[in-house]
């Protein structure tokens, strides 16, 4: 990060205020979305005015912090593409949960500097949990430092995962891996917000998180938070960066070897 121009801690503090405002808007609209307000963007991929207005709140607030920054956003409410600084935003991660009034959804905001996450914020709205990280400066939950678990046996930890909206994509080994993980872990949780899943790895609630068919806005912030909490983040298979969200694995270092063995049935379909 160009420290001469921007101080990363100040940027984070200001961005957190913008995210709190976005979270307040989401909270005030719980249970207020009508069936006719919901659009289906693709198979099982839902969106409402809450996602779109939250994105506008975020873009307007964050634009003031770095006027020259670009934006990559889930709902495309802004047209600026990638620049030296780029905000990667999922205004409401866990939209399906939100629309079914399941209280697990989050705001996810990452700031990339030349394609690398520098600042990360994930706000779990209902639990009022603010996860943050700055590259090389650690990860925090409500301002207290967090670490991944020190466990070394997958049988002692929970795994988080999710399943592709396009069920055809389940042919790439998902179900074989699921069966193996069930046999070799304490259990599986499917929270419905990838950003929250990643933060749960970062603070030790989960030992491992893996998922396919995500996008950069689902994982950019949570991935940095895991790394800054001492965890490992990689793609599950293939050579692409985890940052695309195409397939991602996050785990505590002590669980890496066993987890890679559990994931080996994943393959490109």
Nearest Cα to 51, choosing from 112, 7, 12, 95?
95
Question: Is 214 among the residues that bind ligand 2AM (CB under 6 A)?
Answer: yes
Query: Are β-strands 158-161 and 208-212 bridged in parallel, bridged antiparallel, or unpaired?
Result: parallel
Helix/strand/coil for 71: strand
Question: Over the Cα atoms of the chain, what is R_g?
Answer: 18
Pick the binder of ligand 2AM from 129, 151, 213, 256 (CB under 6 A). Answer: 213
Question: Is 197 among the residues that bind Ca ion (CB under 5 A)?
Answer: no
Question: Is 216 among the residues that bind ligand 2AM (CB under 6 A)?
Answer: no
Pick the binder of ligand 2AM from 63, 82, 165, 265 (CB under 6 A). Answer: 165
Pick the binder of ligand 2AM from 55, 218, 246, 258 (CB under 6 A). Answer: 218
Sign of CA dihedral 141, 146, 151, 152: positive
Nearest Cα to 164, choosing from 151, 174, 156, 152?
174
Nearest Cα to 231, choosing from 222, 244, 239, 240?
222
The 176-195 site mask, x for binding ligand 2AM (CB under 6 A), equals ----------------xxx-
Pick the binder of ligand 2AM from 75, 93, 228, 258 (CB under 6 A). Answer: 93
The 30-69 site mask, x for binding ligand 2AM (CB under 6 A), equals ---------------x------------------------
Residue 94 binding: pick among Ca ion, ligand 2AM, none (C-beta 5-8 Å cut-off by kind):
ligand 2AM
Report how many residues bind ligand 2AM under the rule CB under 6 A. Answer: 17
- Angle among Cα 220, 225, 226 to the nearest 5 degrees reads 100
CA dihedral 211, 235, 45, 199 (to 10 degrees): 60
Question: Is 218 among the residues that bind Ca ion (CB under 5 A)?
Answer: yes
Residues within the interface to Ca ion (CB under 5 A): 90, 93, 218
Residues within the interface to ligand 2AM (CB under 6 A): 45, 74, 90, 93-96, 162, 164-165, 192-194, 213-215, 218
């Amino acid at each position: 990060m160009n420290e001469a121009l921007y101080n990363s801690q100040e940027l984070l503090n200001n961005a957190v205020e913008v995210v709190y405002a976005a979270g307040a808007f989401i909270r005030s609209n719980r249970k207020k979305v009508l069936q006719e307000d919901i659009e289906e963007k693709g198979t099982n991929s839902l969106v409402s005015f809450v996602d779109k207005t939250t994105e506008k709140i975020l873009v307007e607030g964050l634009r003031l912090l770095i006027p020259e920054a670009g934006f990559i956003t889930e709902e495309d409410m802004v047209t600026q593409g990638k620049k030296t600084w780029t905000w990667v935003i999922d205004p409401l991660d866990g939209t399906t949960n939100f629309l079914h009034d399941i209280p697990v959804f989050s705001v996810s905001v990452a700031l990339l500097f030349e394609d690398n996450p520098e600042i990360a914020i994930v706000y779990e709205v209902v639990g009022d949990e603010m996860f943050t990280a700055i590259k090389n400066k650690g990860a925090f939950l409500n301002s207290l430092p967090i670490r991944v678990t020190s466990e070394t046996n997958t049988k002692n930890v929970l795994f988080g995962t999710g399943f592709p909206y396009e069920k055809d994509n389940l042919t790439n080994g998902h179900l074989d891996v699921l069966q193996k993980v069930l046999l070799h872990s304490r259990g599986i949780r499917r929270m419905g917000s990838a950003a929250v899943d990643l933060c749960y790895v970062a603070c030790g609630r989960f030992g491992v998180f893996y998922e396919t068919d995500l996008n950069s806005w689902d994982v950019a912030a949570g991935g940095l938070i895991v790394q800054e909490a001492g965890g490992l983040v990689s793609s599950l298979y293939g050579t692409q960066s985890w940052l695309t969200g195409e397939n991602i694995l996050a785990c505590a270092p002590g669980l890496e070897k066993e987890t890679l063995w559990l994931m080996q049935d994943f393959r490109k379909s």
